[in-house]
Chain A
Amino acid sequence: MNMADALHTFLAESRALLQEMEEALLKLENDPADPDAVHAVFRAAHTIKGSAGLFGLDHIVDFTHEAESVLDRARGGEMALDDELTGLLLECSDHLGRLLDIAADGAEPDEDDAAHGAALTRRLAVYLERFGEGEQLPVETGAAEPRIDSAGPGPDGVENCAWHISLRFGRDVLRNGMDPMSFIRYLATFGEIVHVVTLPDAMPPAAEMDPECCYLGFEIRFRTDADKARIESAFDFVREDSAIRILPPGCRIGDYLELIESLPEDTTRLGEILVGCGAITPRELDEMLAIQEAQGGEKDEEGRPPLGEMFVQENVVQPEVVDAALARQKEVRGRQAQDSKFLRVHADKLDNLINLVGELVIANSGLGMLAARNKDGATMEAVSGVARLVEDIRDSTMRLRLVEIGETFNRFRRVVRDVSKETGKEIELVIQGGDTELDKTMVDRIGDPLTHLVRNAVDHGIEAAEVRAGRGKPAKGTVWLNAYHESGGIVIEVADDGGGLDQDAILAKAQARGVVAEGDELTDAQVWNLIFEPGFSTVDRVSNLSGRGVGMDVVKRAIEALRGTVGIESHAGRGTTFRIRLPLSMAIIDGFLMSVAAAHYVVPLELVLECVELPAGEGDADNRNYLNLRGEVLPLLRLKEHFALEGERTGRRRNVVVVQWAGRKAGLLVDELKGQLQAVIKPLGRVFSGLRGISGSTILGSGEVALVLDVPVLLEQAVQKEDYVAAQRIKSSRENVRVARTETADQ
């Protein structure tokens, strides 16, 4: 096999393609819209052009290019193939046949042929211009060619002087099949790798390290005669995702300063930085270190001239370079000093400690009960002292597990950047409340749902730039990530200033899927919540971004698994906010204990708004599911009935515990109020996983078991009770009357 054989193949192949092209064009004369025929013509032109380039038949490439551009428009349905155009393309096909014949003879086209080709090209160009985009299409093919060596040696051609290449690859480079090692090997094919420094500093601890990610950075000194474009071209395939800096030999100091400042590593020592930058050689560094040692001073850093100063004294580097490196090192040292105040502790040890504190809480409340039963005042006092300390220990222990959410948030900068690149939207990510602290387990597990919401916001939330312009919004979309504390929990918001959810589309889809019956009246919030139904998506076009097989239902479940809730606020044309509420921690809570029909229940104390005695007659007589509380109609959940308890009612009176979550309130009807306690939450077994309204259990000091109520779920159930809904309607219509009546009932 040689080039002549290959050329032969090319000619035969191209003639066959021209034949196909002609047939297809003739078919188009009868049926101008036949998509198969249009495609066949395009493919023929496309393939001939692609192959011709291999043989250096540039005149064929150039000529075919114009025809291909026209055909691409036609293929996209943007341009009609009328008789005139089809005729022109047939002429082009003939001309191509002639060019192939000439190539077969090993000749160049003569003047006549060239003129004929140029005339055809001009006529094709008219079509493109008529289409209005003629000048936007790339006319010269050379521009799009892969970068190659431009002739001549490097800019200054200095020998014995090395380029400096600083590489920080994108995390996904390995996954994409690109191995940094192969790029370094490639460099070695046209130069000499003088020195490589591999920097593993960015690699996280083993537990967080993803072995398919690339964490290594490289500082390379490279000697070559090639120019910068040639060196740069080595990284053509990874340029988009990577930070690549190439400094020529004998570079200006300012460039090195810039490089030093841009280096992300924080453990790089001064010497290494200088060597890494190519500002000094390793040999010079060794010499400096030797002199420094000779000048005395063991490892006392204070007592000897600073390394940097010595470099300057010895005229090895310019002062500016050293200043920048020193400033950088100082910063690194400061951070290291801070680092040293941290201890890395295995998560298991921490969990064990928290378990023990939990047991301590239980044991101590057992002791307290014992003392109370024996009416032993002194012991009770001592127990309450211990209880206070235990509470402090508990709080401190829980705080050990808290980490700032900022790091998780920052991960999304990349997500937003990538997704906005993929979608071609310009988007800014604004992060607020990054220093808000949250349990480590939660931080780990909230990442995925957040990713989905952020992608969703970018992909579906933010509109295309034209749409935004039409709505009078800035072209650049904004996505906000916000975190803050609220009543014993944390709120995380993912907001966008996009188009808002399409209420009609959601309803239509829900009705089509039978989730909602025709004619159902739903509140806004209820409509928004429909998107959390399994398999629900209002976007017909499955996008590559959010359409990853993960639905919003998975997001919701993930959040619920953390005992959290997610709510939506959306305004048409103005944007959508997803608001995730999570409890601060999952293990120990301050609870409020109550009993119903001899069973014990606990609600998180921070959710209890107030406790009131059930007013005589109010809600009792007719088993109503609502309650008037100082003029406010609240849903009332009768726990005895709700959980179908069969035990006897205890206590003389009945009490209502008013709970609040995410702006909703409801009353829980119970028998006895038992007061505050610290509850160590134990998860329920798998058998009870389907139980709605109970989120866990806890053991009381007496050894009895109390169930922890899942307030958000109960609230939802309470609000749905029909007569409450009815009562609220009446209330809104007869506001004044009700208020007047309840005011007296309340006293």
Chain B
Amino acid sequence: MAKTVLIADDSASIRQVVGMTLKNAGYEVIEAEDGKDALSKLDGQKVHLVISDVNMPNMDGISFVKELKAQPANKFTPVIMLTTEAGEDKKQAGQMAGAKAWMVKPFQPAQMLDAVSKLVLP
């Protein structure tokens, strides 16, 4: 059974490229525009990994991860947070929310695939 990865990012192009890369590698991918959208698409179901941007409209990455981790099905779901060098302050808040893996934007698709495979293989 393929492993499911959810990507939440307000940039459609990032979603597309990451989604495409992961799908090609054999993952199921759920794309969401922001935290709110991600939560409604999850609907309490377990996913194997979540990739989330920090800065998003409606619901930012930190609040999203907090809510995600509060769901019984995703209490222990690994989260990769996307951030920029300018976002060190957010990193602390994110660590508290339960996002321990961080990736710096910009990144190459291959780097993303590599990071994902460390946590979950397809």
Bound together: yes
**Nearest Cβ in chain A — how far from B115, in angstroms?**
6
A227 on the interface (CB 8 Å rule)? no
A13 on the interface (CB 8 Å rule)? yes
A13-B12, A237-B101 known; A61+B118 contact, CB < 8 A: no
Question: CB < 8 Å: which of A2, A47, A146, A179 contacts B115?
Answer: A146
Cα distance A480–B97 in the bound complex, in angstroms = 29
Is A1's CB under 8 angstroms from B82's CB?
Answer: no
Given contacts A54-B109, A56-B108, A236-B101, 9 further A-B contacts (CB under 8 A): A51-B106, A54-B18, A54-B108, A61-B106, A174-B76, A177-B79, A182-B121, A234-B118, A422-B92
Question: CB < 8 Å: which of A9, A43, A55, A178 contacts B119?
Answer: A178
Determine the chain A residues whose CB is within 8 A of the CB of B79 once the complex forms. 177
B86 on the interface (CB 8 Å rule)? yes
Within residues 96 to 112 of chain B, which ones have a CB less than 8 A from any CB in chain A? 96, 98, 100-101, 103-111
Question: CB < 8 Å: which of B19, B78, B85, B111 contacts A148?
Answer: B111
Cα distance A47–B108 in the bound complex, in angstroms = 15
Cα distance A51–B13 in the bound complex, in angstroms = 7
Question: CB < 8 Å: which of A5, A49, A175, A185 contacts B16?
Answer: A5
Is A177's CB under 8 angstroms from B111's CB?
Answer: no
B14 on the interface (CB 8 Å rule)? yes
Cα distance A69–B12 in the bound complex, in angstroms = 23
Question: CB < 8 Å: which of B10, B20, B100, B114 contacts A178?
Answer: B100
Is B76's CB under 8 angstroms from A47's CB?
Answer: no
Is B98's CB under 8 angstroms from A176's CB?
Answer: yes
Determine the chain B residues whose CB is within 8 A of the CB of A46 once the complex forms. 55, 84, 86
Chain B interfacial residues counted at CB < 8 A? 42
A439 on the interface (CB 8 Å rule)? no
A234-B118, A236-B118 known; A50+B84 contact, CB < 8 A: yes
**Nearest Cβ in chain B — how far from A226, in angstroms?**
12
Determine the chain A residues whose CB is within 8 A of the CB of B106 once the complex forms. 49-54, 61, 141
Residue of B nearest to A65 (CB): B85
**Nearest Cβ in chain B — how far from A148, in angstroms?**
6
Binary interface encoding of chain A residues 9-40 relative to chain B, with 1 for a CB under 8 A from any of its CBs, else 0: 11001100000000000000000000000000
**Nearest Cβ in chain A — how far from B102, in angstroms?**
8
Is B11's CB under 8 angstroms from A47's CB?
Answer: yes
Is A54's CB under 8 angstroms from B100's CB?
Answer: no
What range describes how many residues of A lie at the interface? 35 or more
A186 on the interface (CB 8 Å rule)? yes
**Nearest Cβ in chain A — how far from B122, in angstroms?**
11
**Nearest Cβ in chain A — how far from B79, in angstroms?**
7
Determine the chain B residues whose CB is within 8 A of the CB of A238 once the complex forms. 100
Q: List 21 A-B contacts (CB under 8 A).
A: A1-B16, A5-B16, A6-B20, A9-B16, A10-B13, A13-B13, A46-B86, A50-B105, A53-B106, A54-B14, A54-B109, A145-B104, A146-B104, A146-B107, A146-B111, A174-B76, A176-B76, A179-B119, A189-B117, A233-B114, A237-B118
Determine the chain A residues whose CB is within 8 A of the CB of B78 once the complex forms. 176-178, 237
Residue of B nearest to A14 (CB): B13
A68-B86, A69-B86, A177-B79 known; A53+B115 contact, CB < 8 A: no
